[in-house]
A and B are shown apart, each in its own frame.
Chain A
Amino acid sequence: MNPALLEVSSHGTVELKIPGRAEWVAVARLAVAAVASRLRFSVDEIEDIKLAIAEACTNSIQSAGGQDAGTIEIVCDALEDELRVTVRDHSPAAHLEPVKIGGLDEGRTEELGVFLIRALMDSVDYTSDPHTGTELVMAKRVTA
Chain B
Amino acid sequence: MDIKVNVRESEGDAYVVDLTGEIDVYTSPKVKDAITELIDQEHYNLVINLEKVRYIDSTGLGVLIGGLKRVREHGGSVNLVCTNPQIKKIFDITGLVKIFGIFDDEQSAMKALV
Contact = CB atoms under 8 A, between A and B. Distances in A.
B is bound to A? yes
Interface of A: 22-23, 25-26, 44, 47, 50-51, 54-55, 57-58, 61-62, 101-102, 104, 106-110, 112-113, 115-116, 119-120
B57 A23 contact: no
Contacts of B93: 116, 119-120
Contacts of A115: 94
B57 A54 contact: yes
A106 B61 CA distance: 9
Interface string B29-72: 00000000000000000000000000101110110011011000
B25 A58 contact: yes
B59 A109 contact: yes
A101 B25 CA distance: 21
B90 interface: yes
Contacts, number: 68
B114 interface: no
The dominant DSSP class at the A interface is: helix
B33 to A, nearest CB: 15
Interface of B: 1, 22, 24-26, 55, 57-59, 61-62, 65-66, 68-69, 85-86, 89-90, 93-95, 99
Nearest to B22: A26
Nearest to A23: B26
9 contacts: A50-B55, A54-B57, A55-B58, A58-B57, A58-B58, A62-B25, A106-B69, A113-B59, A116-B58
A64 to B, nearest CB: 12
B90 A116 contact: yes
A108 B86 CA distance: 22
A87 to B, nearest CB: 14
A112 B26 contact: no
B25 A51 contact: no
A113 B69 CA distance: 19
B106 to A, nearest CB: 24
